[in-house]
Amino acid sequence: MIKYLLFDLDGTITDPKEGITKSVQYALSKLGIEENCENLLKFIGPPLLNSFMDFYDFDKEKAELAIKYYRERYSTIGLFENSAIEGIEEVLSKLKEAGFVLAIATSKPTHFAIPICEKYNLDKYFDLILGSELDGTRSKKSEVILEVLNKLNAIPNESIMIGDRMHDIIGAKEAGIKSIGVTFGYAEDGELEESGADFIVESSSELLSCIFKLI
């Protein structure tokens, strides 16, 4: 029986496309790289440090500088260049009414995740909103998930991770819990299947049905 629901934020609860891609574009520009925002969608989901190192072959020092530039824009403008996923508030409301314990488990720093949820008045549905630290610690998804489980005193076999990228699915596996992959976020074709999601849904209404079947 599932009691604890851990949600990713970007691409699962909110659509952060504009804020993230424009802030990455800004950071790259400061480093002499001009890039089209449509080519930066891959930055939505994974930890920023890994993304700058993997996608642009930056060493750790340069990636950390890129994050510094990214946050110059994101902390003041990009943070609120997003929107709630269609139908997601109704899902959260019904799950809360049904007695589930809801939490945000994101690779985004908690410092940014909380005000985003507050902006859309979604914070009221969550017992805990937790992400990485600004210094880069606890950025691995499994570390975030394990910390959420610990703070909620949650039992792993009563918990499930809901997210739109392979990092959510792999993180759930590493933390010893099941996962639901949502295709309305930013996963590439086949990504959720290949990463081993236990369930895959295509809409917020289908997500709700899937969760209630697990009771």
Which positions are annotated as active-site residues? 8
Q: Which residues pair with 133 in a beta bridge?
A: none
Q: Are 183 and 161 in contact (CB under 8 A)?
A: no
Question: From the CB of residue 75, how many other CB atoms can be counted at a distance below 10 Å?
Answer: 15
Q: Which residues pair with 163 in a beta bridge?
A: 181
Q: Are 92 and 102 in contact (CB under 8 A)?
A: yes
Distance CA(171)–CA(143), nearest Å, equals: 8
Distance CA(174)–CA(172), nearest Å, equals: 5
Question: From the CB of residue 86, how many other CB atoms can be counted at a distance below 10 Å?
Answer: 12
